[in-house]
C-alpha cells in the first residue's frame, strides 16, 4: 500500500461495531411492547368514543339502540331485522367492518348485561374471553 491510500484499521471498525451494538441495546428494549400498547389504545378509543358516538346518534334518530341481532352493521346500513329503524339517517360511522386492531370483530350486545346501555368490547390480543378484554363497562 502506498502513502496516498487510506483505509480503516481493524480497531476502528471494531469500535464502530461496539458503538452500534451499544446503541441498539439501549433503544430496542424501549420499543418492545410499544406496538401492543398502541393497539390497546386504539381499541379503547373505539370502545369508549368512536363507536359509542355513532350508537348515540343512532339512538337519537330511532329512539333505541340497535339490537344484538342487528349489530354494529346497522350503523352503516339500515337494518332489515325487526325492529326496523323508522328514522334511520345513517351511515352513522365510516367504514363497514368493525374489527379491533388484532383483526377480531368488536362484540356488541344490547341490552347490556353489565348495567350500561349496551355491552361493547374487544377480546384483545388473545382473542379469548379473558382478563385481557377491553370493555366499555369498567
Question: What domains can be seen in the chain, in order of their start residue?
Answer: 36-135 (3.30.700.10)
The confidence score (pLDDT) of residue 58 equals 96
CA distance 62 to 59: 5
Measured in degrees and rounded to the nearest 5, phi and psi for residue 41 equal: -65, -40
| Cell numbers linked to 115 | 348495567
CA distance 117 to 19: 57
Q: Which stretch of 17-26, 52-61, 80-89 has the lowest confidence by average pLDDT? A: 17-26
For range 89-104, the mean pLDDT: 90
For range 112-137, the mean pLDDT: 91
Alpha helices (runs of H) in 5-89, residue ranges in sequence order: 10-31, 34-45, 51-62
CA distance 83 to 67: 8
pLDDT band at 3 (very low <50, low <70, confident <90, very high): low
Amino acid at each position: 500500500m502506498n502513502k496516498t491510500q487510506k483505509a480503516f484499521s481493524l480497531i476502528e471498525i471494531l469500535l464502530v461495531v461496539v458503538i452500534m451494538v451499544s446503541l441498539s441495546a439501549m433503544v430496542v428494549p424501549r420499543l418492545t411492547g410499544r406496538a401492543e400498547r398502541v393497539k390497546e389504545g386504539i381499541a379503547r378509543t373505539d370502545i369508549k368514543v368512536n363507536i359509542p358516538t355513532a350508537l348515540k346518534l343512532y339512538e337519537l334518530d330511532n329512539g333505541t339502540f340497535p339490537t344484538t341481532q342487528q349489530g354494529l352493521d346497522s350503523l352503516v346500513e339500515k337494518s332489515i331485522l325487526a325492529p326496523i329503524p323508522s328514522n334511520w339517517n345513517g351511515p352513522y360511522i365510516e367504514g363497514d367492518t368493525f374489527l379491533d386492531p388484532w383483526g377480531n370483530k368488536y362484540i356488541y350486545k344490547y341490552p347490556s348485561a353489565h348495567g350500561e346501555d349496551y355491552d361493547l368490547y374487544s377480546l384483545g390480543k388473545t382473542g379469548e374471553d379473558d382478563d385481557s378484554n377491553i370493555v366499555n363497562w369498567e
